[in-house]
Chains A and B, each alone.
Chain A
Amino acid sequence: AQTVTQSQPEMSVQEAETVTLSCTYDTSESDYYLFWYKQPPSRQMILVIRQEAYKQQNATENRFSVNFQKAAKSFSLKISDSQLGDAAMYFCASLLNRDDKIIFGKGTRLHILP
């Protein structure tokens, strides 16, 4: 079965600092996608970043980057120069290439301290 685990229910970071959110996943497949979604207080689900498992290069989107360790099945999200608007729940998720359903972790609530 496919599982996604986020071991940090909550985290805090000082504004302008860097924070890393952890995520591990379990799958026997070799072809899949990994995602980080952000859910701010508005509860909208916003795609932050996406990684194809076959790509060795870590995905980057402006201040957001991932550390994808395929052998360790680890997919952490790094947020640089944290801003107040980054405060949200962050969900790690996976999607098998042969499947339709995204599997989500339970989320990490990120607080930004001014």
Chain B
Amino acid sequence: NAGVMQNPRHLVRRRGQEARLRCSPMKGHSHVYWYRQLPEEGLKFMVYLQKENIIDESGMPKERFSAEFPKEGPSILRIQQVVRGDSAAYFCASSLVNRETQYFGPGTRLLVL
């Protein structure tokens, strides 16, 4: 039973480029959460999605960041016109039902040059 999958594991972008991070939840899970971890910090919530719906995006920066979870395929976190401050580890988690244990993927390390 595969866990949460994230790709790529490492992503290097130059300032101004776009970054696309993908997350496939555990089999049977329809709730997806994205978190960001800055160096030497804990994880900070960004957005919570169910299939085709954004439920809570209270932690998402208002500009340049967007997320989707289409009916088919993985969830995508998209960062447009990346800046150096976007360099971080981005973790995806999934749960079977809402407000239950969230299982995390291995993360994507984004480095903006």
Contacts and interface: CB of A to CB of B under 8 A. Distances in A.
Check if A and B associate: yes
A113 interface: no
Interface string A46-59: 11001000000000
B98 A45 contact: no
Interface residues of B, number: 25
Contact of B101 (A4, A50, A97): A50
Nearest to B44: A104
A73 B15 CA distance: 43
Interface of B: 33, 35, 40-45, 48, 55-56, 58-59, 89, 91, 93, 98-99, 101-104, 106-107, 109
A96 B109 CA distance: 28
Interface residues of A, number: 26
Nearest to A97: B99
Given A43-B89, A45-B91, A102 B43 contact: yes
A99 interface: yes
A100 B55 contact: yes
A29 B72 CA distance: 37
Interface in A31-64: 33, 35, 37, 42-47, 50
A98 B99 contact: yes
Interface string A83-114: 00000000101011111111111110000000
Nearest to A6: B42
A100 B59 CA distance: 11
A100 B42 contact: no
Contacts of B89: 43
B103 A47 contact: yes
10 contacts: A4-B42, A43-B89, A47-B103, A50-B101, A96-B99, A98-B99, A100-B48, A101-B33, A101-B45, A102-B43
A42 B48 contact: no
B28 to A, nearest CB: 17
A43 B99 CA distance: 24
